[in-house]
Amino acid sequence: MPKPAKPSVKKPVGEQPENPAKLILDGAVTDNQWNLLPLGGEEEVTAENLAPGKVILPLSVWLELRDQLQERGEDIGVWLDSDETVDLIGEYAAELPLIAAHFPAFTDGRAFTVGRLLRERYGYTGEVRAVGNFIRDQLTYLTRCGFNAFAYQGDQPLERLLESTSDFTDSYQAAVDQPLPIYRRRALA
Amino acid sequence: MYRYDEQDHKLVRERVAQFRGQTERYLAGELKEEEFLPLRLQNGLYVQRLAPMLRIAVPYGLMNSAQVRRLAHITRKYDKGYAHFTTRQNVQLNWPNLEDVPDILAELAEVEMHAVQTSGNCIRNTTTDQFAGVARDELVDPRPYCELIRQWSTFHPEFAFLPRKFKIAVCGADQDRAAIRAHDIGVQIVKNDKGEVGFQVLVGGGLGRTPILGVAIRDFLPETHLLSYLEAIVRVYNQLGRRDNKFKARIKILVKAMGAEEFARRVEAEWEQIKDGADELTPEAIRWAKRFFPEPEYKSIANGHGEAVLRDHAGEDKAFARWLERNTFPHRVNGYQAVTLSTKPTGIPPGDVTDRQLEAIADLADKYSFGEIRVTHEQNVVLADVEQEKLFELWQEARKNGFATPNIGTLTDMICCPGGDYCSLANAKSIPVAEAIQRKFDDLDYLYDIGDLDLNISGCMNACGHHHIGHIGILGVDKKGEEFYQVQLGGSSNEKASLGKVLGPSFSRDEMPNTIGKILDVFVENRHPDELFIDTYNRIGLQPFKERVYAKAS
């Protein structure tokens, strides 16, 4: 029997983040002002066919269109998939009002490093947004790593999520929220 | 030892409250099973074959008597009246109820204990030499650095969801008693030619399915940079470690795939960016950490006095002499000796102690060793600072409580995982094999003649019993639903670490004691005077053992 022909499809894209209508921003529940463009749409995205308004582009798309999108300025954000490291944005970060990091699964902790490096290495002051499958119990660490926005797509009410943003009121090590680790603070005391 | 201040207390209390909330949400169905899993693991809670298992953290193996008494109380109130010492120098409870765990954690918090990061894909309990601070071959006491690593790694916000578990061990002596080459990161304290303290840093060691020994990526890291360097290593691993396959997710696989040189280059590049930042260990911070490990108030004892007393006792009592030889360790201070209480009498699962025994340990520590207790990675208990003059008295009390089996370092002082009797991962039971071997080799004269020999047993290839680095390693395997045991020879965990080689086809449980017997026969027949098993093995190789063990009966 002849082998069936291989279907000619593009390499499948992984789990894509959703774009919920509401999110947590700076400690409050608020409307999501941004549209998130997932990877792997039917049509290739160009500067011309990109819908108006605030849009979060996949990193690869943004790197491609960056020069053509200059005049959209404050309307263009970028999201990093979990296998994309911050140095791919690097110095460009300052141009962007919003950078999102994707959790394909909540156990994939690469986004924590994304947050810290954006804030600590690149001095990024815009919105750092968690998107994808993170869970409530990660908010306290995400906050310490510099995230200030949480586009949660699980089934718990956002108000309940807020309860977990400060499970700890102190910390041992330095991070975005704490410039000195506890052992140095104690040694100074 | 380290004592909590108000900040530590607060952090641990907040952790208990956090976990209580998580448990309630889980029981109420608000937290999914798969979401609760890593959260409970990071609080040391497994769900095992028969019941949950709670692993309690003992930072670098060090406890005080009040903590040990509290453990005794917890085993009585919430468990079946016994606890288990692990190879990460921690303590395990085998039978707690899930609903009780927040209460257990609250009771632990009162005595400055917790179960934080004793499991899960995060930085685990840092381990070290059980003779830290007292060993004669020690360059620098590793405990202050271990404590700093504990603080840096506890609730680390960036590294709570690593690709896999992550283990760090620190050694401050010439002889490596912490098996640092079998860890994700091994830290060896060294001094440079100017006499400055620093660290040799090894990465990529680990046991499990793919055992690999760590390799040095830096030969001298100045003292002030310890934590920034660790942070750089873990950050590179967090970003680049594999997450697609659990069995290829440890840092050893990344280091191997990338090559140690390239891995080191990436770590150095990351470290360059952060080395003078917040993680810098200032001289004040180091002094502050060292303050918690002052020298105990040793008596001034004349040189030779303690030894003379011991000689008298040993001359009168052969059993004491044996114990003295095997279960005590030289101390750097005149008139003192360190004592290892054996948890390995025949017939008791290695590392298991009852609530009464825990209380006895606490009493012995108060009476003889400044109230301090250490758990060893061989699953025994050390009282590090005992006056030689008191050793005879201590021995008698230890014997009454079942801790004086004079077998430390011998064949019957085995490392053994809980195995198929408890663990849901195990392919085979390990405790009955340990017991059968202990029963066969219960002749002390024979054991002493054999000398130092590490026999390690794991019930599956996850290698919790460290079989790869035992001189003799035993691995439980499953063959068509039946339990068999593979034997490896030539592993070693010290500064000359090596991985064992498989002897050949596996054996049934009944065949195991005789198989070990044949291996020992080959050793005894081939050894040079005073040669240890591992030395003979290294000299003659695997073949003679193989021939004897698999020889057809004629």
SS3 category, B398: helix
Judge: B158–A116 Cβ closer than 8 Å, yes or no: yes
Query: In this complex, which of A112, A156, A186 lies closest to B30 when CB atoms are compared?
Result: A156
Q: Collect all residues of chain A within an 8 Å Cβ-Cβ radius of residue B5.
A: 186
Q: What are the DSSP E strand ranges found in B67-173?
A: 82-85, 91-93, 127-128, 168-171
Kindly report the number of other CB atoms within 10 A of residue B97's CB atom.
13
Q: Report CB contact under 8 Å: B278, A141.
A: no
CB B386 within 8 A of CB B338: yes
Q: Which of A32-41, B98-107, B484-493 has the highest mean pLDDT?
A: B484-493
Angle subtended by helix axes B251-258 and B226-240, to nearest 10: 80
Spatial CA neighbour of A95 closest among A56, A124, A65:
A124
How far apart are alpha carbons B327 and A51 in whole angstroms?
77
Q: Rg of the Cα trace of chain A?
A: 19
Cα(B10)–Cα(A84) distance, integer angstroms:
37
What number is the average pLDDT over the span A2-30?
A: 75
Parallel/antiparallel/unpaired status of strands B482-489 and B472-479: antiparallel
What's at A15, amino acid-wise?
E
Model confidence at B532, pLDDT cuts 50, 70, 90, reads very high
Min CA distance, B472 vs chain A (Å)?
37
In chain A, residues with a C-beta closer than 8 Å to the C-beta of B39 are 137
Q: Is the pLDDT of residue A8 over 70?
A: no
Give the pLDDT confidence of B219-231 residue by residue, as tens digits: 999 999 999 999 9
Among the partner-chain residues B148, B160, B277, the one whose CB lies closest to the CB of A109 is B160
**H or E element: which one contains A29?**
strand A28-31
Query: Taking a C-beta distance cutoff of 8 angstroms, is the pair B539, B527 a contact?
Result: no
**Does B511 contact chain A (CB < 8 Å)?**
no
Q: Which fold has domain B134-291?
A: Sulfite Reductase Hemoprotein; domain 1 (3.30.413)
Tens of pLDDT, residues B27-44: 999 999 999 999 999 999
Question: pTM here?
Answer: 0.94
Q: Among residues B507, B463, B470, B466, which one has the least CA distance to residue B485?
A: B507
pLDDT of residue A158 exceeding 90, the answer is yes
The residue among A103, A117, A163, A167 with the most chain B CBs within 10 A of its CB, best to mutate, is A167
Question: Measured over all CA atoms, what is the biggest interatomic distance in chain A, rounded to whole angstroms?
Answer: 80
Domains of chain A (ranges, CATH numbers) = 22-187 (3.40.50)
Shortest Cα–Cα distance, B288 to chain A (Å): 6
- Collect all residues of chain A within an 8 Å Cβ-Cβ radius of residue B161: 106-109, 112, 138
- The verdict on a CB contact (< 8 Å) between B158 and A106 is no
Task: Please check whether residue B277 touches A, CB under 8 A.
Answer: yes
Domain boundaries, chain B: 6-110, 134-291, 305-401, 415-550
Q: Is the CB of A108 inside 8 Å of chain B's CB atoms?
A: yes
The predicted-structure confidence for B454-488, as pLDDT tens digits, reads as follows 999 999 999 999 999 999 999 999 998 899 999 99
Torsion of CA A170, A176, A179, A183, to 10 degrees: 50
Token pair of B533 as six digits:
């098993």
Mean pLDDT of chain B: 95
Residues in chain B closer than 8 A to A141 (CB atoms): 155, 157-158, 160
What confidence score (pLDDT) does residue B283 get?
Answer: 93
CB-based contact, A22 to chain B, within 8 Å: no
The answer, for B497 touching chain A at a CB cutoff of 8 Å, is no
**B415-550 and B6-110 share a CATH fold:** no
State the smallest CA–CA distance between residue A96 and chain B in angstroms.
23
pLDDT per residue over B285-323, tens digit each? 999 999 999 999 999 999 889 999 999 999 999 999 999
CA distances from B127 to A34, B145, B202, B240, B325 (A): 48, 11, 15, 25, 26
- Mutation target among B158, B162, B284 for the A interface, most CBs of A within 10 A: B158
Query: Which of B354, B486, B342 is CA-nearest to residue B414?
Result: B342
The mean pLDDT value for B389-401 works out to 97
Mean pLDDT score across all residues of chain A: 90
Interface predicted TM-score (ipTM) over 0.95:
no
B62-64 and B336-341 beta bridge pairing: unpaired
CATH of B305-401 among 3.40.50.12170, 3.90.480.20, 2.102.10.10, 3.10.129.10: 3.90.480.20
Q: What confidence tens digit (pLDDT) does each residue in B137-189 have?
A: 999 999 999 999 999 999 999 999 999 999 999 999 999 999 999 999 999 99
Residue B366: CB atoms within 10 A of its CB come to 17
Q: By the 8 A CB rule, do B125 and B58 touch?
A: yes
Q: What is the pLDDT of residue B553?
A: 65
In this prediction, residue A12 has a pLDDT band, given cuts at 50, 70 and 90, of low
Interface of B with A in 145-204 (CB under 8 A): 148, 151-162
Contact A171 B155 (CB under 8 A): yes
Q: Which of B35, B148, B160 sits opposite A141 (nearest CB)?
A: B160
- CB proximity B30 to A under 8 Å: yes
How confident is the model at residue A27, as a pLDDT?
Answer: 95
Please, what CATH class does the domain formed by B415-550 belong to?
alpha beta
* pLDDT for the residue numbered A7: 42
**Taking each helix axis from N to C terminus, what angle separates B33-41 and B6-27, rounded to the nearest 10 degrees?**
160
B18 interfaces chain A, CB cutoff of 8 Å: yes
Residue A38 contacts B where some CB pair is shorter than 8 Å: no
CB interface of B with A, residues 111-150, below 8 Å? 121, 148
| Contact status of B236 with chain A (Cβ, < 8 Å) | no
Q: Is the pLDDT of residue A13 over 80?
A: no
pLDDT per residue as tens digits for the range B188-208: 999 999 999 999 999 999 998
The partner residue sitting opposite A187, judged by closest CB among B18, B162, B285, is B285
3-state class (DSSP) for residue B487? strand
Task: Give the closest of B15, B17, B239 to A85, CB-based.
Answer: B239
- Chain B interface includes A156 (CB < 8 A): yes
Instruction: Give mean pLDDT, residues A71-81.
Output: 93
* Res A73: pLDDT: 82
Q: Three-state SS across B316-360?
A: HCHHHHHHHHHHEEECCCCCEEEEEECCCCCCCCCCEEEHHHHHH
A174 touches chain B (CB under 8 A): yes
Interface contact flag, A167 B18, Cβ < 8 Å: yes
Cβ-based contacts under 8 A for chains A and B: 116
Q: Is A31 helix (H, G, I), strand (E, B) or coil?
A: strand
Q: Which residues pair with B200 in a beta bridge?
A: B188
**Residue B488: other Cβ atoms inside 10 A:** 22
Q: Which CATH number fits domain B6-110: 3.90.480.20, 3.40.220.10, 3.90.1150.10, 3.40.50.970?
A: 3.90.480.20
Q: Which residues of B touch A170 (CB under 8 A)?
A: 7, 10-11
pLDDT at position A6, please?
45
The pLDDT confidence band at residue A10, using thresholds 50, 70 and 90, is very low
A93: left (phi over 0), alpha (psi -120 to 50) or beta: alpha
Q: Do A110 and B10 touch (CB under 8 A)?
A: no
Instruction: Nearest by CB to A174, from B5, B279, B288: name it.
Output: B279
Within 13 Å of residue B336, how many CA atoms lie on the same side as its CB? 23
